[in-house]
Amino acid sequence: MRREHIEKSAAEIAAQVRSGRVSAAEIVEETLAHVDLVDGALGSYLTVLADAARAAAVRVDERVRGGEQLPLAGVPLAVKDNMCLDGTRTTCGSKILERWIAPYTATAVARMLDAGAIAIGKANCDEFAMGSSCENSALGVTRNPYDPARVPGGSSGGSAAAVAAYEAAVGLGSDTGGSIREPGAFCNLVAFKPTYGRVSRYGLIAFASSLDQIGPLTRTVEDAALAYDAMAGYDPMDATSIDRPVEATASALREDLRGLRVGIVREFDTKALGPDLDRIYRQAYGDLERLGAEVVEVSLPTAEYGVATYYLIAPAECSSNLARFDGVRYGLRVEGNDVRAMYDKTRAAGFGPEVKRRILIGTYALSSGYYDAYYVRAQKARTLIARDFAVAFEQCDLIACPAASCPAFQFGAKSDPYSMYLMDYYTIPMSLAGLPALSVPCGWTTPADGNLPMPIGLQLCTPLFGERLLLGAAHAYERATNHAGARQPVLDGVRA
């Protein structure tokens, strides 16, 4: 199979399209042919937008000929299926929205398309972005391109698998507690959650509005920077979007870490993750030091309450956000004898078990009598966690820690909800504090129950609005180590 262009980075593809050496139309044809070949087995996409992508390529080629310097010219894009794209099915991986057609385009998606990217398809995800493996999708299975017996992570697992398997060069994901960073770590990608409010949520179907944030999944740090620069910035359509100038990150990519202090979190003892991961993370921290950083120990004493805090706040917000799916305005309706019966039947048939569990937990935590005991206390814990970060950042510029506690696992391996919730142990604290954070590949390990090496992610995090430093530092680490380039996905062996 010819993969002449699509294995290149988004930056390289865009440069070639801008120079006229290759057309966006050719990139799209090569991508669609490749998707045809591999996606039956991988299942990254729920909807492939072949005709729309071809039409968009014609327009991008016209703009390029007209002299427009499009930063993402012809870059194939995977859009998580909880983001609206005008006229296309937007399912959130749920039966309740299985046939719902979005009437407008999310701001983040529109900005990517405006910069020249071409939407190839809508990518699978856990239902309403609730999950860490894509196994909660009601509409399909997505496999990890590095071992099809394993999950791609979640909830943005379809976007991650698509980018890892060259079905797109950039994937858009949403991260509420880890849903960009964890699948990115599982699929050997750079996976970046910006500061809360930096990228507009307009057109992102809400899960937990005080946490949700859109960001890119890419094969290089430079591509993450390009995508962020295209998407970030104030949007009057999102009341929580931040009206403050965005500094371009693509111009801030560093080659070393001289003059920076990197904090290692005392409470995140990597010995607990087993000898292999312990070795990988120690090596990573050592590499940061070799790149010129001063490594210091910092403490996040309340981070251990992150998961418990998140699993009150996120379900509380979801129980309110998902109340709109009642058979009246959006998606599925199951008729009943009266309107109450119609609501009940629609929601019973439309939502999967994890979504129902979250709605129940959230409704309980918000109910009078329990509100103070659960929801208010969780908000207090959230404040304490944010304060821990503020104190830690008095001693360092960046924090380095694991992105996940294990590599991609086999389907069905995390069968109880709690063990799945723990997948976000290292990513939730940053989400609660609203901080920018990313995962960058830092090594490989062969799990005991497998024979293929799986990627591991290093998480880096900065104070609010530290995107330039964050991406800059990640670039230096990526360039010095190149763990991502060490292996290729097993695309020739994929079987449905």
Question: Residue numbers of the site for ligand GLN (CB under 6 A)?
Answer: 129-132, 155, 175-179, 207, 314, 424
Q: Where are the beta strands (DSSP E) in 194-346?
A: 213-218, 261-265, 294-298
Closest distance to ligand GLN from the beta carbon of 413 (Å): 15
Closest separation in Å from C-beta 475 to ligand GLN: 24
Nearest to 165 by CA among 152, 178, 154: 152
Dihedral Cα 280, 281, 283, 289, nearest 10 deg: 160
The residues, ordered by sequence, that sit 6+ positions from 487 with a Cβ below 8 Å of its Cβ are 146, 188, 444, 453, 455
Active site includes 80?
yes
Cα 72 from Cα 485, distance rounded (Å): 22
458 strand-pairing partners: 402, 440
Q: Token pair for residue 330? A: 């959006």
Of residues 23 and 132, the one with the C-beta less far from ligand GLN: 132
Minimal distance in Å, beta carbon 156 to ligand GLN?
8
Residue type at position 17: V
Q: State the number of CA atoms in the 13 A half-sphere of 116 facing the CB.
A: 31
Is 137 designated active site?
Answer: no
| From 44, 137, 159, 179, active-site residue | 179
Nearest residue (CB) to ligand GLN, 281 versus 421? 421
Strands in 150-189 per DSSP E: 170-175
Quote the tokens at residue 86.
Answer: 């005008």
The closest alpha carbon to 428, from 140, 203, 177, belongs to 177
Residue among 137, 155, 159, 200 flagged as catalytic? 155
Q: To the nearest whole angstrom, how small is the minimum distance from the Cβ of residue 183 to ligand GLN? A: 10
Rounded to whole angstroms, the Cα distance separating 152 from 80 reads 14
Nearest distance in Å: CB 480, ligand GLN: 29
Phi then psi for 351, rounded to 5 degrees? -95, 145
Closest separation in Å from C-beta 69 to ligand GLN: 34
The answer to whether 230 touches 111, Cβ cutoff 8 Å, is yes
Nearest CB to ligand GLN, comparing residues 217 and 494: 217
23 versus 156: smaller Cβ distance to ligand GLN? 156
The residue sitting closest to ligand GLN, measured at its beta carbon, is: 179
CB of 212 to ligand GLN, least distance (A): 7
CA dihedral 359, 174, 237, 197 (to 10 degrees): 100
Which lies closer to ligand GLN via its Cβ, residue 129 or residue 253? 129
Least distance between ligand GLN and beta carbon 428 (Å): 8
Q: Is 345 a catalytic residue?
A: no
Q: Where are the alpha helices (DSSP H) in 177-273?
A: 181-186, 221-231
Which residue lies nearer to ligand GLN by CB, 177 or 429?
177
- 8, 80, 122, 193: the catalytic one is 80
361 versus 469: smaller Cβ distance to ligand GLN: 361
Given the structure tokens 């310097």, which residue do they identify?
69
Amino acid in position 278: D
Question: Is the Cβ of residue 175 or residue 223 nearer to ligand GLN in the bound state?
Answer: 175
Nearby residues of 201 by Cβ (< 8 Å), 6 or more positions away: 209, 212, 213, 214, 238, 240, 241
Compute the distance between CA of residue 181 and CA of residue 193 in angstroms, rounded to an integer: 7
- Catalytic residues, by residue number, are 80, 155, 179
